[in-house]
C-alpha cells in the first residue's frame, strides 16, 4: 500500500518505519521535510510536504496534536476516497479548547469529529491507544504474544485494510465495532493505553460487556 504519514513524530515515525520495513511504500511528511531525510533513508521511504503525503497515500495516517486538526483541514482540504487512520487524542492541556469541547460533547467521539472534518474519507480509528514505545519495542510478535491494537470504523472494507496494516507489523487487531464504539479506547477509558496481549484485551472486553 501507499501510505502518507501526517505527523512523523513519536507515533507517525514509528509506524511509518515499521510499515516501510515490511515493504509498504511510505512518505513521511513534515513542515520541514529535510529534517526527516536520514530517518526515511534508513527504511527506503520518501519524504515530503503534508500536501505531498496527501496526494501520495491511498492510506493516510493522522498523527499530529489534536489541536492542529482544524488548521490541517484548512490546509489540505478534502481526502475523498482515502483511508484515513486517526491516531490522535484530544488532550486539553496540550490541545486547548477544541479538546475540551470534544470531551464534553458526549454526542460525538473524537474520531467522529475527525471523520466529520474529512467527509469523503473512510476514517478508521487505530493506534491512538498504544504508547509509542510499546509500538516500537513490542512489534513483530506472533500468536498470543501479540499486543492488542484497538480499531474501529464505519466502513467495513477500510477497516479490513487497517486490520491488515496492524497485523502486518506483528500486533493483533482488536475490532471494537463502529466509530461510535471507539469511546472505549479514548483517553481515560478502560481500553486506553493498557498495552495488553490480545488474550488479555479480549478478556477485559468481555468483562466490560458483562
Ligand atoms: N506519543 C504517544 O505514545 C502517542 C500514542 C498514541 C497516540 N498519540 C497521539 O498521536 C498524535 C501525535 O503524537 P506524537 O507523540 O507522535 O507527537 P509528536 O512526536 O510531537 O509528533 C507530532 C508531529 O505532528 C507534526 N505537526 C505538528 N503540528 C502540525 C501541523 N500544524 N500540521 C502538520 N503537522 C504538524 C509535527 O511535525 P513537524 O514539526 O515535522 O511538521 C510532529 O512531528 C497526538 O494526537 C497524540 O495524542 C500519541
The pLDDT tens digits along the chain (210 residues) read 999 999 999 999 999 999 999 999 999 999 999 999 999 999 999 999 999 999 999 999 999 999 999 999 999 999 999 999 999 999 999 999 999 999 998 889 999 999 999 999 999 999 999 999 999 999 999 999 999 999 999 999 999 999 999 999 999 999 999 999 999 999 999 999 999 999 999 999 999 988
Distance 6 CA to ligand 1 centre (A): 8
Does ligand 1 lie within 6 Å of residue 87's CB atom?
Answer: yes
Q: What atom in ligand 1 is closest to the CA of residue 71?
A: 31
Does ligand 1 lie within 6 Å of residue 121's CB atom?
Answer: no
Distance 9 CA to ligand 1 centre (A): 5
Helix boundaries (H) for 22-144? 37-42, 50-56, 69-76, 92-95, 97-104, 110-117, 132-137
Does ligand 1 lie within 6 Å of residue 192's CB atom?
Answer: no
Does ligand 1 lie within 6 Å of residue 29's CB atom?
Answer: no
Does ligand 1 lie within 6 Å of residue 188's CB atom?
Answer: no
| Residue 184 near residue 151, CB atoms below 8 Å | no
| φ/ψ (deg, to 5) at 53 | -65, -40
- In 3-state terms, what secondary structure has residue 194? coil
Amino acid at each position: 500500500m501507499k501510505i502518507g504519514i501526517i505527523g512523523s513524530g513519536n507515533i507517525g515515525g514509528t509506524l511509518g518505519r515499521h510499515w516501510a520495513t515490511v515493504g509498504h511504500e511510505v512518505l513521511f511528511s513534515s513542515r520541514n521535510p529535510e529534517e526527516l531525510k536520514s530517518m526515511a533513508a534508513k527504511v527506503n521511504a520518501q519524504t515530503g510536504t503534508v500536501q505531498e503525503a496527501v496526494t501520495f497515500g491511498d492510506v493516510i495516517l493522522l498523527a499530529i496534536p489534536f489541536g492542529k486538526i482544524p488548521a490541517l483541514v484548512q490546509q489540505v482540504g478534502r481526502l475523498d476516497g482515502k483511508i484515513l487512520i486517526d491516531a490522535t487524542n484530544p488532550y486539553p492541556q496540550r490541545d486547548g479548547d477544541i479538546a475540551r469541547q470534544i470531551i464534553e460533547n458526549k454526542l460525538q467521539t473524537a474520531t467522529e469529529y475527525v471523520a466529520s472534518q474529512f467527509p469523503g474519507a473512510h476514517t478508521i480509528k487505530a493506534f491512538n491507544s498504544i504508547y509509542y514505545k510499546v509500538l516500537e519495542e513490542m512489534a513483530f510478535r506472533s500468536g498470543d504474544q501479540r499486543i492488542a491494537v484497538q480499531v474501529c470504523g464505519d466502513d467495513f472494507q477500510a477497516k479490513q485494510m487497517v486490520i491488515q496494516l496492524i497485523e502486518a507489523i506483528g500486533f493483533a487487531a482488536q475490532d471494537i465495532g463502529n466509530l461510535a464504539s471507539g469511546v472505549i479506547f479514548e483517553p481515560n477509558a478502560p481500553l486506553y493505553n493498557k498495552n495488553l496481549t490480545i488474550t488479555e484485551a479480549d478478556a477485559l472486553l468481555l468483562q466490560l460487556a458483562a
